[in-house]
Amino acid sequence: MADRELAPAALRRSSRRLSKGWYKFSRNRLSVVGLAIIIVISLAAIFAPYITPYPSHAGPYANFKESSQPPSAKHLFGTDTVGRDVFSRVIFGYRYSLMLAVVVISLSAPPGILLGLIAGYYQRTKLETVIMRITDIFLAVPPLILALAITALLTPNITNQMMAVSLMWWPWYCRLVYAITASLRNEYFVVEAELTGARKAHILLRSILPNCVGPILTKVTLDMGFVITLGASLSFIGLGVQPPKPGLGTMVADGAKRLPAEWWMTIFPALAIVLVILAFNLVGDGLRDMFAVEEI
């Protein structure tokens, strides 16, 4: 309630914080470049059906007259073995990659954050032990392996891939938020909130959670890159986006068989993966600088 009455002042404060944040973020030129790349790629992926030269090539299209053409003005990245435009397929491939990353993080971050808050707040209780030991179990094998096992046991497709990766991803958020919460547990503002009789939900979500926002946002950005890598890796093995849909990892794997003569089929999709991951890493670094208080 109080918040709403103070809205204009709060708004001004948050807009000032935003411009200060942008100033800190933009001091790192590379981060701005990364952000620009992400915006361009996202827009291209969203509007892929309208902006790609050959949208129909993202599906079961074949034209053997045009097969295995090297890069040219007509086909920027060349064509694949059945004559589909590699450039168009790469842009559509970004769609699946970004969708995977967004879905996985929106599915796995909230429960991870909540469990981390609870485990960090209820320290030295059974609750903490149970949550953190389960987290340890999930972190005891690389996410790729378990995601691989789950996707393979179910039917390999993009939905199952999203489910499997999401199932593997929450422990990372849990551990991050747990560490921050544990360090804040006995700070005065938390104790004060307890003494005034605030509900636990209020303490966790309104007193502690805002202090985790910086690290969480940084992690989300870096994780976009990691999840895209993981998704591409699964597709590379053949457990992700199924043909004829264009997955970046699938394209790299299929093209690798044609190395070295028809190099464009694999090298361009591989470079496309590198570009998007690099961009998210650059932005993640910028965010880290932005939220870092002690560093000057």
Partner 1 sequence: MIKYILQRLLQAIVILVGLSLLIFFIARVVPGDPARVALGSLATKEQVQRLRAELHLDKPFPVQYYFWLRGVARGDLGISLYTRRPVIQDLNDYLPATLELVFFCFLITLVVGQVTGVLAGYFRNSWFDALSRLISYGGIATPPFAVAIFLLFIFSNLLGLTPAVGRISMTLSPPPRITGFFVFDSLITGRLGLALNALSHILLPAVSLAIANLAQESRVTRSSIVDNLQKDYVAAHTVYGIPRRSIIFKYLLKPSMIPTVSIMGLDIAFIIANAFLVELVFMWPGFARYAVTVMLNKDLNAIVAVVLVIGVAFAVVNVLVDIVVSFLDPRIRLRGREE
Binding site for partner 1 (CB under 8 A): 133-134, 136-138, 140-146, 148-150, 152-154, 225, 229, 232-233, 236-237, 249, 252-253, 256, 259-260, 263, 266-267, 270, 273-274, 277-278, 281-282
| Tokens linked to 274 | 């590198």
Residue 154 and residue 278: Cα distance in Å, rounded?
31
Q: How far is the CB of 206 from partner 1 (least distance, A)?
A: 33
Q: How far is the CB of 16 from partner 1 (least distance, A)?
A: 32
Q: Least distance in Å: CB of 141 to partner 1? A: 5
Q: For the packed helices 264-291 and 86-121, what is the interaxial angle rounded to 10 degrees?
A: 30
Q: H or E element: which one contains 70?
A: none
- ∠ CA(237), CA(230), CA(62), 5° rounding? 50
Residue type, 43: L
Q: How far is the CB of 144 from partner 1 (least distance, A)?
A: 4
C-beta of 31 vs 79, nearer to partner 1: 31
Shortest distance, position 237 Cβ to partner 1, whole Å: 6
Question: Looking at beta carbons only, is 157 or 233 nearer to partner 1?
Answer: 233
Nearest to partner 1 of 79, 266 (CB atom): 266
- By beta-carbon proximity to partner 1, the closer residue of 110 and 142 is 142
Residue 84 Cβ vs partner 1, minimum distance, rounded to whole Å: 20
Between the two ends of the chain, the Cα-to-Cα distance in Å is 36
Q: Judge contact between 273 and 225, C-beta under 8 A.
A: no
- CB nearer to partner 1: pick between 115 and 193: 115
The CB-based long-range contact list for 115-119 (8 Å cut-off, 24+ gap) reads: 115/170, 115/174, 115/178, 116/173, 116/174, 116/175, 116/176, 116/177, 116/178, 116/180, 116/181, 117/177, 117/178, 117/181, 117/204, 117/205, 117/208, 117/209, 117/212, 118/204, 119/174, 119/178, 119/181
Neighbours of 34 (CB within 10 A): 22
Paired strand residues for 85: 79
- CA angle, residues 267, 80, 154, in degrees to nearest 5: 85
Q: Among residues 46 and 153, whose Cβ is nearest to partner 1?
A: 153
Nearest CB to partner 1, comparing residues 83 and 143: 143
Taking the complex as a whole, the smallest distance from the CB of residue 242 to partner 1 amounts, in Å, to 13
Closer CB to partner 1, 4 or 126, in the complex: 126
Amino acid at 25: F
CB of 227 to partner 1, least distance (A): 12
